[in-house]
Amino acid sequence: MSTQEEKTRYSDEELEEFRQLIESRLKDAREDLAWYESQLQELAENPDAKARGYDHIAGVEEVEQLTTLAARQRKLIKHLENALVRIDNKVYGICRVTGKLIPKERLRAVPHATLSVEAKLQRR
């Protein structure tokens, strides 16, 4: 590839590297979600919590916090699954605003990113 020619997509080898990273993060996110959901289930089945009707402020805050964390994990899982689809379609790592490749460093930090840092800053 000449220096004049700009790379338009990541190679299959590079995509495979990102697939492994995403699958690892997806596994961790699913485990975290399962833990949050088990904690919520445990609180829901706790006879003391039922008797209080979650009126106790600490119990309410704990349920709200776990619910928020579980929702965030579900959102992260969806984003990571979508990133795997982009890998399958060989469009992973391409900024949806500029059409240029998102730097590998950014993708390693935020593997579900669809915007380059520059594009993200422009959208603020």
Number of domains into which the chain is organized = 1
* Chain segment 45-100, per-residue pLDDT in tens: 876 655 454 456 567 788 899 999 999 999 999 999 999 999 999 999 999 999 99
Confidence of residue 5 (pLDDT cuts 50, 70, 90): low
Residue 1 lies in a domain: no
Residue 38 lies in a domain: yes
Instruction: State residue 54's pLDDT score.
Output: 47
**Would you say residue 2 has pLDDT above 60?**
no
Residue 50 lies in a domain: yes
Residue 40 lies in a domain: yes
**Would you say residue 3 has pLDDT above 80?**
no
Confidence of residue 22 (pLDDT cuts 50, 70, 90): very high
Residue 85 lies in a domain: yes
Residue 113 lies in a domain: no
Domain that holds residue 20: 12-89
Instruction: Answer with the residue of higher pLDDT: 47 or 5.
Output: 47
DSSP 36-67: HHHHHHHHHH-HHHHHHTT-SHHHHHHHHHHH
Interior CA angle at 42 toward 40 and 46, to 5°? 120
